Amino acid sequence: MNGRTLFITGTGALAQAIVETLSAAPIQDLRIHIHGRNAGRARWLATIGNTRAASFGRQQHYVGAGMDWQSEQPLLDELQAARPAIVLHAASLQSMWTLAGSNAWSRLVKDAGYGITLPVQCALAAALGKTIKALKVPPLFINCCYPDAVNHVLTESGIKVFCGIGNIGIIASILIAQGLSDFRMLANHVHVQELMKEPEARTVFPRVWIGGKEADARILLKNIRLVNDPSLNSITAAGCIHLLSAIIEEKDARLHLPGPSGLPGGYPVEIRSGRISAVGTGFIDAAEERQWNARLLEREGIAFEGDGVRFSERAFKGLAQYSPGLAKGFLFRELDDYLPEFSSLVHRLQEMP
């Protein structure tokens, strides 16, 4: 394994934000491969990375290339040749920003909850995860696509995931920027969406401990208002660089990450020697923390039950209009069969006005 080699999949707004932030970061002797469906776009992001790295005096080298997601094991040859330490997965068939379109799928997500996108978010991550699992020395797998939920599905399906980025990390970064340093927080993807609302319209809040005592998050977050557009990726990317630095340079760090070790939702995490050494606040029972996070995902439309996933009542009714079978959810062992059918349904709904 080459500890100074990083693979990034995806060429969208998040991948670009990561490249732009990383290329200015004080991490030297780094090689970054960028792979995406659009080879030209991947090469352009590499050009951006190389140009910015040179401008900032960073010893980083970026290369871009196309890839085939339809392959049975995408990127297998490339990963075997480069032996990266980290694969950062930022490619998805669904982003928050594309849901602004006027079609049947966007309306269904709005009515049923963002959790209904889970199968679409899993599709590429699962394909890449299987490739990583097949490698003799698997790199760390960081999934950036709805990691609060996707990472748990991947883990239960036999794919090892290190963590995600964003979501709880966004909120933590903003609190740090406001001068808060010694705190522990539990937070979830749903809180990012809540913080896009006016303060008086918010109904659920993270749990935050300061100096060992739980604070009133409603007051703590009242002056924070997130914007629902791709510029939010700039904050996600900044947090990502702290994570990459901790892993690559093997620095001890305390971060807030979504989906660490495949857990649902977001948690405080300690990283030592490039590995996650502890997860949780240390103030309440670990099982309670996980249950709290899982209940919040249910607000978004999904529930993890035993050996599978089901949709909440609202999401079930919405999906059942188009496919009663898919609306029943899926067992983790059925993931390979369920995802293509669900993706096909989404494509049809996106074509419906």
pLDDT digits (tens, 9 = 90+) for 54-111: 999 999 999 999 999 999 899 999 999 999 999 999 998 877 666 767 899 999 999 9
Q: Are 128 and 75 in contact (CB under 8 A)?
A: yes
Q: How many angstroms separate the Cα of 341 from the Cα of each of 171, 323, 326?
A: 35, 10, 8
Task: Let me know if residue 73 belongs to a domain.
Answer: yes
Please report the pLDDT score of residue 306 as a whole number.
Answer: 87
Domain carrying residue 113: 2-164
Task: Let me know if residue 79 belongs to a domain.
Answer: yes
Euclidean distance between the first and the last CA atom of the chain, given in angstroms as a whole number: 49
pTM of this prediction?
0.96
Using one digit for the tens of pLDDT, what is the confidence trace for 236-266? 999 999 999 999 999 999 999 999 999 999 9
Task: Let me know if residue 29 belongs to a domain.
Answer: yes
pLDDT band at 228 (very low <50, low <70, confident <90, very high): confident
Please report the pLDDT score of residue 45 as a whole number.
Answer: 98
Of 333, 341, 340, the residue nearest 159 (C-alpha): 333
Q: Are 64 and 40 in contact (CB under 8 A)?
A: no
> For the chain, what is the domain count?
1
Task: Let me know if residue 38 belongs to a domain.
Answer: yes
Looking at residue 21, which CATH number applies to its domain?
A: 3.40.50.720
Please report the pLDDT score of residue 313 as a whole number.
Answer: 94
Q: Are 7 and 33 in contact (CB under 8 A)?
A: yes
Using one digit for the tens of pLDDT, what is the confidence trace for 136-171? 999 999 999 999 999 999 999 999 999 999 999 999
| C-alpha span between 13 and 294 (Å, rounded) | 28
Task: Let me know if residue 341 belongs to a domain.
Answer: no
Average pLDDT, the chain: 95
Longest Cα separation, the chain? 57
Using one digit for the tens of pLDDT, what is the confidence trace for 11-66? 999 999 999 999 999 999 999 999 999 999 999 999 999 999 999 999 999 999 99
Task: Let me know if residue 106 belongs to a domain.
Answer: yes
Please report the pLDDT score of residue 102 as a whole number.
Answer: 83
Please report the pLDDT score of residue 24 as a whole number.
Answer: 98
Task: Let me know if residue 99 belongs to a domain.
Answer: yes
| C-alpha span between 203 and 195 (Å, rounded) | 10
Using one digit for the tens of pLDDT, what is the confidence trace for 289-347? 999 999 999 999 999 988 999 999 999 999 999 999 999 999 999 999 999 999 999 99
Task: Let me know if residue 231 belongs to a domain.
Answer: no
